[in-house]
Amino acid sequence: MLDLPCKGVFPLIELIEINKIYKTSKKTFFQALTDVNLKVEKGEIFGVIGRSGAGKSTLLRSVNLLERPTSGTVIVGSNNLMLLKEQGLQERRKRIGMIFQHFNLLSTATVRDNIAFPLKVSKQSPTEIAKRVDELLELVGLREHQHKYPKQLSGGQKQRVGIARALANEPDVLLCDEATSALDPQTTESILALLRDINRKMGITILLITHEMDVIRAICDRVAVMDQGRIVETGTVLDIFLDPQNSVTKQFVNEVIETPGQETFGTYQAKGRIIRIAFRGEQTYEPILYDAVRGTDATFAILQGTVSRMKDTPYGQLVVELRGSDADVNRIINELVQHGLGVNEI
């Protein structure tokens, strides 16, 4: 339970060439997943983002075979789930927790009994169950609500019950299906903070799906973008935000951070060349631009700038106009690139 997180050592979840075809009527079929490949490393928080109908839930439910892929391989830890018999699959599933957008709690059971439910199913003794439920109530901050029924709880509290229940059997993986989509922004933030805590303190690997880029930015290490049943782009959250390649990815990124382009400056008549510089990590706070310009006869004007944070990493975007000879401007751009900054002329 208190294993230290051990990031990036080996994939804990591996989906290989997954296809899922739903039968929609006697004669019609719908392909919800096409050739999906995904590796989630032990200890990371991995997000999958896509529009409604992109296949996110189908993908997530393939990981514990709630939805059995039509073809492909599903590996979790050391097991190829597609090859397990029913009992082996049940055993493995116990250690794959899952939480849902609409919580899926038992309405006729108290908070305490909802959390105890999976422990009863796995036939633990009443003493063990009581002890574990107490620990979980403490973890999710619901001790004083333990005798309430779901309808007496707020959305955020219901999701805390869902999380406690999912953690009852000490899973190594937590699957989250739009876990914060039914919550207001503040409650979303507190649930995301709880998930981040669980990941850090217990080393539980989290695979979450969402249609909100803010969720990805707040807690994920890496992200895959889905469109029409396919994964169209995968990368670290920073790379995806600062240098999106696919058009769907670009749309998602633009919803949360503006990537300045020519249109941003309207009728402004530039006197020099305009470049967009992307900083990441500790570079964000270094005077790299100043140093690069200082060695030349050129000057610069800042047209726009932002500094923000993605999970734990600071990043910044700066749009500057470099005024000087072409040779000087090229020298400055080279210098910036050599320092590992992302530079785009716009």
Ligand X SMILES: Nc1ncnc2c1ncn2[C@@H]1O[C@H](COP(=O)(O)OP(=O)(O)OP(=O)(O)O)[C@@H](O)[C@H]1O
Closest by alpha carbon to 33, among 73, 64, 62? Answer: 62
Closer residue to ligand X (CB): 29 or 285: 29
Q: Which residue is nearest to Mg ion (CB)?
A: 57
Contact region with ligand X (CB under 6 A), list: 10-18, 51-59, 104-112, 296-304 = 51-59
Closer residue to ligand X (CB): 22 or 268: 22
The contact mask relative to ligand X for 202-231 (x = CB under 6 A, - = no) is ---------x--------------------
**Residue 50 within binding range of ligand X, rule CB under 6 A:** yes
User: Tokens 């800042």 label which residue?
Assistant: 302
**Residue 101 within binding range of Mg ion, rule CB under 5 A:** no
Contact region with ligand X (CB under 6 A), list: 55-63, 140-148, 306-314, 323-331 = 55-63
d(CA 203, CA 282): 26
- Shortest distance, position 57 Cβ to ligand X, whole Å: 3
Contact region with Mg ion (CB under 5 A), list: 49-57, 163-171, 298-306, 329-337 = 49-57
Q: What is the CA radius of gyration of the chain?
A: 24
Count of residues in contact with ligand X, rule CB under 6 A: 13
Count of residues in contact with Mg ion, rule CB under 5 A: 1
Strand 11-23 with 71-76, pairing:
antiparallel
- Shortest distance, position 56 Cβ to Mg ion, whole Å: 5
Going by the DSSP 8-state scheme, the letter that residue 244 receives in this structure is -
Which listed option, ligand X, Mg ion, none, makes contact with residue 148 (CB within 5 to 8 Å by class)? none
- Other CB atoms within 10 A of residue 84 CB: 17
Residue 15 has φ and ψ, to the nearest 5°, of: -105, 125
**Residue 76 within binding range of ligand X, rule CB under 6 A:** no
- Other CB atoms within 10 A of residue 158 CB: 21
Strand 96-100 with 173-177, pairing:
parallel
Closest by alpha carbon to 217, among 283, 285, 100, 312? Answer: 312
Which listed option, ligand X, Mg ion, none, makes contact with residue 58 (CB within 5 to 8 Å by class)? ligand X
Closer residue to ligand X (CB): 31 or 187: 31
The two three-digit tokens of residue 310, written as one number: 């993605």
Contact region with Mg ion (CB under 5 A), list: 4-12, 51-59, 267-275, 320-328 = 51-59
Cβ neighbours of residue 14 closer than 8 Å, sequence gap 6 or more: 38, 39, 40, 73, 74, 75, 76
- Shortest distance, position 332 Cβ to ligand X, whole Å: 44
DSSP assignment of 40-106: EETT-EEEEEE-TTSSHHHHHHHHTTSS--SEEEEEETTEEGGG--HHHHHHHHHTEEEEETT----
Considering only residues 4 through 43, tell me which ones interact with ligand X, judged by CB under 6 A: 22, 24, 30, 32
The contact mask relative to Mg ion for 8-47 (x = CB under 5 A, - = no) is ----------------------------------------
Order of strands across the sheet that contains 230-236: 96-100, 173-177, 205-210, 45-50, 222-227, 230-236
Closer residue to ligand X (CB): 94 or 211: 211
Closer residue to ligand X (CB): 52 or 267: 52
Contact region with Mg ion (CB under 5 A), list: 43-51, 56-64, 84-92, 149-157 = 56-64
d(CA 208, CA 223): 9
- Shortest distance, position 74 Cβ to ligand X, whole Å: 16
**Residue 57 within binding range of Mg ion, rule CB under 5 A:** yes
Q: Which residues bind ligand X (CB under 6 A)?
A: 22, 24, 30, 32, 50, 52-58, 211
Q: Which residues bind Mg ion (CB under 5 A)?
A: 57
